[in-house]
Amino acid sequence: MPESPYLVIYPERVRANYRALDTALTVTGTRIRYAVKAAPVDDLLVLLADEGAEFDVASIGEIEQCIALGIAADRLCYGNPIKKAAHIARAYALGVRRYAFDTEDDLERIAEHAPGSEVECRFLSSAPESKTPFGTKFGCRPDEATNLLIRAHDLGLIVGGPYFHVGSQQLDPSAWRIGIEQAGAIVQALADKNIAATVVNVGGGLPVSYVDTAPELSDIAAAISSAAAEFLPESVRVIVEPGRALVGNAGTIHAEVVGVRVAPDGRRWVYLDIGRYNGMAETENEYIAYRFVTDRDGDPVAEAVVAGPTCDGDDVLYQRTKVLLPTTLRAGDRIQILHTGAYTASYSSVSFNGFPPLTVHVSGAERE
């Protein structure tokens, strides 16, 4: 048995998720572009490439990883709007010809260092807030997106079209309808200038059920497909960029209880050998509530504060969220954290407090 903690990934679950989403997206020509950052695991990238996926890459590191695996550069889109000129030039030299942007500065860097490439302009949609929102870090106003895409055309770039993201772990299917309607207005404004958009990128944000139940992928796909049919010309293809939705339920973290104590305020604390810095970063602000399974399930339960192993006071996973764990838990007990395939190993630090990053094991079985 590997040393705890570690993540087990089940690739066949990823394949099933991809095929289910592909089937549910009914608008002709819709493309699925996997967000590599969610789980940059070689086996998963090769599997998804074999399934026909494209790839949303956020850095030179992800671009080089994909190309080293034999994934063609024309299936990659450098989707991070924050990138250095040198990185654009490096991506272009590697064959990448699709880029996202949201400022004129970045657009001009793309025009200079990746001439003739296709571009998508990210705008800030009016979608409701997601569980882990981006705020205003990314995206320009919709009217700015129109002007920037016109500018892209003038700079000799290929206009792809508008791009939005409804926020990670979005639980409201109407969010995509709102964004697609806004994107459709941008497409029409471009057409009025005799510029034909070819794509609308509806981003990621497709949710996974953790403790709280999320809408089914089929419900999200139906919302995307119906909105696209209503607001977009038939000539415009839809791009969907799932990350969490493809890999989230395909992973399980295996961890261990390090200790249990009752604090001076009377609250029970359960300390695990995994925390915020070696895999559980998405527990920040307790936005994502994972489910725990122990060998003592069935024993009496009580509320517990759940914390990681480091000396950092912020390394606490849950203290406001009501987590019920067996009262019999003791040091050395095994604990599984379900649906942890996304944003766990990829968020893990190199060696905070000397703890190693989360290791990943790929299982040949469909599920454990």
- Cis peptide bond upstream of 357, omega within 30: no
Q: Do residue 227 and residue 291 come from a single domain?
A: no
Helix (H, G, I), strand (E, B) or coil at 317: strand
- Cβ 283 vs Cβ 318: under 8 Å: yes
Helix (H, G, I), strand (E, B) or coil at 231: helix
Host domain of residue 172: 11-248
The catalytic position among 77, 121, 140, 311 is: 311
Q: Do residue 217 and residue 256 come from a single domain?
A: no
Q: Do residue 192 and residue 264 come from a single domain?
A: no
Residue 241 maps to a domain: yes
How far, in Å, CA of 282 to CA of 310, rounded?
A: 16
Q: Looking at 248, 266, 286, which one is the last position of a domain?
A: 248
At a CB cut-off of 8 Å and minimum separation 6, what does 348 contact?
Answer: 277, 278, 279, 281, 357, 358
Give the model's pLDDT for residue 215: 94
Residue 36 maps to a domain: yes
> Does the structure show a pLDDT above 90 at 135?
no
Helix (H, G, I), strand (E, B) or coil at 218: helix
Q: Rounded to a whole number, what is the distance in angstroms from the first to the last CA of the chain?
A: 14
Give the model's pLDDT for residue 365: 60
Residue 368 maps to a domain: no
Annotated catalytic residue 311: yes
Residue 152 maps to a domain: yes
Give the model's pLDDT for residue 364: 77
Q: Do residue 201 and residue 111 come from a single domain?
A: yes
Q: Looking at 206, 226, 248, which one is the last position of a domain?
A: 248
> Does the structure show a pLDDT above 90 at 11?
yes
What is the C-alpha radius of gyration for the chain, rounded to an integer number of angstroms? Answer: 22
Which of the four pLDDT bands, split at 50, 70 and 90, describes residue 136?
confident
Q: Looking at 248, 273, 294, which one is the last position of a domain?
A: 248
Residue 95 maps to a domain: yes
Residue 3 maps to a domain: no
How far, in Å, CA of 267 to CA of 290, rounded?
A: 20
Q: Do residue 123 and residue 267 come from a single domain?
A: no
How far, in Å, CA of 34 to CA of 326, rounded?
A: 38
Give the model's pLDDT for residue 127: 86
Q: What is the pLDDT of residues 178-223, one digit of tens each?
A: 999 999 999 999 999 999 999 999 999 999 999 989 999 999 999 9
- Cβ 211 vs Cβ 163: under 8 Å: no
- Cβ 225 vs Cβ 26: under 8 Å: yes
CATH of the domain at 30: 3.20.20.10
Question: What secondary structure letter does DSSP report for 27?
Answer: S
Q: Do residue 284 and residue 173 come from a single domain?
A: no
> Does the structure show a pLDDT above 90 at 366?
no
Q: What is the pLDDT of residues 256-284, one digit of tens each?
A: 999 999 999 999 999 999 999 999 999 99
Q: What is the pLDDT of residues 352-362, one digit of tens each?
A: 999 999 999 99
Q: Do residue 132 and residue 234 come from a single domain?
A: yes
Helix (H, G, I), strand (E, B) or coil at 164: coil
Q: Do residue 54 and residue 68 come from a single domain?
A: yes
Q: Do residue 38 and residue 171 come from a single domain?
A: yes
Q: What is the pLDDT of residues 221-259, one digit of tens each?
A: 999 999 999 999 999 999 999 999 999 999 999 999 999
CATH of the domain at 331: 2.40.37.10
- Cβ 272 vs Cβ 258: under 8 Å: yes
Give the model's pLDDT for residue 361: 96
> Does the structure show a pLDDT above 60 at 16?
yes
Q: Do residue 104 and residue 208 come from a single domain?
A: yes
At a CB cut-off of 8 Å and minimum separation 6, what does 335 contact?
Answer: 254, 255, 256, 257, 272, 292, 293, 294, 329
Domain count along the chain? 2
Degrees (nearest 5) of the Cα angle 288, 292, 296? 165
Q: Do residue 240 and residue 99 come from a single domain?
A: yes
Residue 2 maps to a domain: no
Residue 1 maps to a domain: no
Q: Do residue 240 and residue 253 come from a single domain?
A: no
> Which long-range contacts (C-beta less than 8 Å, at least 24 apart) are formed by 111-118?
111/152, 111/155, 111/156, 111/157, 112/85, 113/85, 113/88, 113/89, 114/88, 114/89, 115/156, 115/157, 116/156, 116/157, 116/158, 117/92, 117/157, 117/158, 118/157, 118/158, 118/159, 118/160
